[in-house]
Amino acid sequence: FTEIVRNAQESSDVRHQAMSALAMSRSAGTLPLFQNLFETMTTRELKRRALTGIARNDNSDAAATYLIRVAEADKDFELRKSAIANLGRVAGQKSLGALTSTVDGDKEVELQKQAVIAIGKRSKSEGVPALIRIARNHPQMAVRKVAIQVLGQTGDARAIAFFTELLSNE
């Protein structure tokens, strides 16, 4: 599959399918391959699929480290956004910390909103408290709004209690 992905003579659809097939592997040994593919591919879609493969990798600590680097430093805004979305799939405090740091400190509101959505994909025990904090305290109304929308999709009792509190303050 790697040869197909790298072969510019192949159609983009075939290359995308090959990358998606590669991304199904969770083996920690494939992480350097996906990192190399991300670094060497020229199309945004192939890079995005490489990020998905990285996020699925069993070496979650190294995957989180790489995705954080892309989220913070890549020149392509859409790839930064994709890296943030993929951090929501990576277990552990490192990825959650990066997402909350993005929400709290990134200057781009779109990236903050993407981080909120990614936090919503995490376990309820991690995600719901963070989402309530964001919905209650974030300085940007647009970010608070996304946090409230994501909270509404959790069905969690803490979210319901938060909504009850919001409505009783009206």
Q: Which residues of 74-88 are buried (b: 16+ CB within 10 A; e: fewer)?
A: beeeebbbbbbbbbb
Instruction: Judge contact between 49 and 14, C-beta under 8 A.
Output: no
pLDDT band for position 169 (cuts 50, 70, 90): confident
Q: With both helix axes pointing from N to C terminus, report the angle between 12-22 and 31-40 in degrees, rounded to the nearest 10.
A: 150
pLDDT of 50 higher than 90: yes
What pLDDT is recorded for position 91?
Answer: 87
Cα gap 131→11, rounded to integer Å: 42
Q: Return the DSSP state at 28.
A: G
- Indicate the pTM of the whole model: 0.90
Q: What is the mean pLDDT of the chain?
A: 94
The Cα–Cα gap between 103 and 143 comes to 8
Place 170 in a pLDDT band, splitting at 50, 70 and 90: low
Residue 1: the pLDDT is: 86
